[in-house]
């Protein structure tokens, strides 16, 4: 999400901010489950990605 080259909790924060409307990341980057909507389901996907990499 935040384009720092790492997938970690800062990306979760960035995605939550996008869901809340306080950040403006593109839908293409944020729609992690590919359902056409950026919401808490995408946050869950991102957390699962982080957990599976550790």
Taking only the tens place, the pLDDT of each residue in 43-53 is 999 999 999 98
14 and 2 Cβ atoms separated by less than 8 Å: yes
Q: What is the pLDDT of residues 2-21, one digit of tens each?
A: 899 999 999 999 999 999 99
Read off the pTM.
Answer: 0.91
Judging by beta carbons within 10 Å of its beta carbon (0-12, 13-18, 19+), is residue 30 exposed, middle or buried? buried
Token pair recorded at residue 39: 């919401």
What are the sequence ranges of the domains in the chain? 9-52
């Amino acid at each position: 999400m935040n384009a720092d080259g790492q997938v970690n909790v800062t990306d979760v924060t960035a995605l939550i901010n996008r869901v809340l409307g306080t950040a403006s990341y593109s839908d293409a980057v944020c729609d992690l489950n590919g359902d056409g909507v950026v919401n808490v389901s995408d946050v869950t996907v991102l957390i699962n990605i982080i957990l599976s990499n550790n």
